[in-house]
Amino acid sequence: MDKILFVDDNLQYVSDFAQRHRVAFDVHGINASKLLKGQHQVSFDSYDAILVDLLMPEIDGLSLWKDLRENSKDVPLGFLISVNYEPKYREMAFKLGMEDYLHKEMSDEEIYLRIRNRIQSRREAKSGHGSPRQFKNMEFSPNDFTCTIEGERIGLTKTEFRILQEVLCSPGGRIHRAELMEKVWSNRSVVKQTLNTHVFNINGKLILWQDQLIVDKSEFVCTKPRTQKTHYMS
């Protein structure tokens, strides 16, 4: 069971959250002010992820996360969560190295998938391997950066593989362009056309795959059946 540290001054919400997700997650709540003042000794390496509430009385979640990253070792995956979902905080969270920005009004299933998929991806990356996964007629192998389609092995570059992995492992096989670029290239300045070029190259290599990657009009990178024409946003 994945272990989650939930930093929020509303411990009643944390308790309710823990109860709803008790089958999947072992959730431990902690008060932000006590954490900052050192009244709670936390061994971060024992947790798989940290959920941080955005709006708290003494400190906002983004500032708290930045402080943890700068002053603590082995900080696990970070997720910002808020009852009032504001898109501007999404980009700020990604720039600080957080995995996702969750809305408290999301369904329990969506919250579970967003957290669980990120934890699983990190676990496979750390171990240096992962069991092959099937996506329609393609077998996707994190172990050696290859895909196998109808018995043919197709090699991808590490960047191409990372892009494909992030899309396929995202909830519903769909991830926003900004989030994907942040995860693949971190803080490096990369223009949108760079991602488009990689998507084009991936589709060219995986020509026998029943699906393809597209960048839709909402700037989400996702999978679509190969019969549909590939679309690239400029």
Check which CATH number belongs to the domain holding 93 and give it. 3.40.50.2300
Domain extent, residue 188, equals 130-234
Going through the chain in order, the beta strands assigned E by DSSP cover: 2-7, 25-30, 49-53, 77-82, 100-103, 133-135, 138-141, 146-149, 152-155, 174-176, 211-215, 220-225
Q: In the chain, what percentage of residues exceed pLDDT 70?
A: 88
Residue 208: which pLDDT band, with cuts at 50, 70 and 90? confident
Of the residues 86, 102, 127, which one is the last residue of a structural domain?
A: 127
Give the pLDDT confidence score for residue 149 in this predicted structure: 87
Q: Beta-carbon neighbour count of residue 208 at 10 Å?
A: 14
Give the pLDDT confidence score for residue 38 in this predicted structure: 60
Q: Beta-carbon neighbour count of residue 178 at 10 Å?
A: 16
> What's the Cα-to-Cα distance from 200 to each of 52, 156, 184, 213, rounded to whole Å?
36, 13, 16, 8
Of the residues 75, 110, 127, which one is the last residue of a structural domain?
A: 127
Pairing between strand 2-7 and 49-53?
Answer: parallel
Of the ranges 19-28, 29-38, 145-154, the best mean pLDDT one: 19-28
Pairing between strand 77-82 and 100-103?
Answer: parallel
Is residue 114 domain-shared with residue 220, that is, in the same domain? no
CATH of the domain at 233: 1.10.10.10
Whole-number Å distance between alpha carbons of 50 and 28? 10
Is residue 86 domain-shared with residue 33, that is, in the same domain? yes
**Which residues, including other chains, have CB under 8 Å from residue 154's CB and lie 6 or more apart?**
146, 147, 148, 205, 206
Can you give the pTM of this predicted structure? 0.58
pLDDT in tens, 93-132: 888 888 889 999 989 988 998 898 888 777 766 554 456 6
Is residue 16's pLDDT more than 50? yes
Residue 218: which pLDDT band, with cuts at 50, 70 and 90? confident
Is residue 117 domain-shared with residue 159, that is, in the same domain? no
pLDDT in tens, 136-193: 888 877 666 778 888 888 888 888 888 988 888 777 778 888 888 888 886 567 788 8
Pairing between strand 211-215 and 152-155?
Answer: unpaired
Is residue 121 domain-shared with residue 143, that is, in the same domain? no
Is residue 30 domain-shared with residue 118, that is, in the same domain? yes
Give the pLDDT confidence score for residue 8 in this predicted structure: 92
Give the pLDDT confidence score for residue 234 in this predicted structure: 44
Is residue 221's pLDDT more than 70? yes
Is residue 4 domain-shared with residue 53, that is, in the same domain? yes
Question: Any idea which of 34-48, 63-77, 219-233 has the lowest mean pLDDT?
Answer: 219-233
Residue 223: which pLDDT band, with cuts at 50, 70 and 90? confident
Is residue 151 domain-shared with residue 63, that is, in the same domain? no
Q: Alpha-carbon torsion 159, 165, 167, 170, what sign?
A: negative
Q: In the chain, what percentage of residues exceed pLDDT 90?
A: 23
Give the pLDDT confidence score for residue 146 in this predicted structure: 77
Give the pLDDT confidence score for residue 31 in this predicted structure: 85
Of the residues 96, 127, 158, which one is the last residue of a structural domain?
A: 127
The structural domain count of the chain equals: 2
Is residue 109 domain-shared with residue 142, that is, in the same domain? no
Give the pLDDT confidence score for residue 124 in this predicted structure: 65
Instruction: Output the average pLDDT for the chain.
Output: 83
Question: Any idea which of 38-42, 81-85, 108-112, 179-183 has the lowest mean pLDDT?
Answer: 38-42
Is residue 112 domain-shared with residue 49, that is, in the same domain? yes
Is residue 138 domain-shared with residue 196, that is, in the same domain? yes
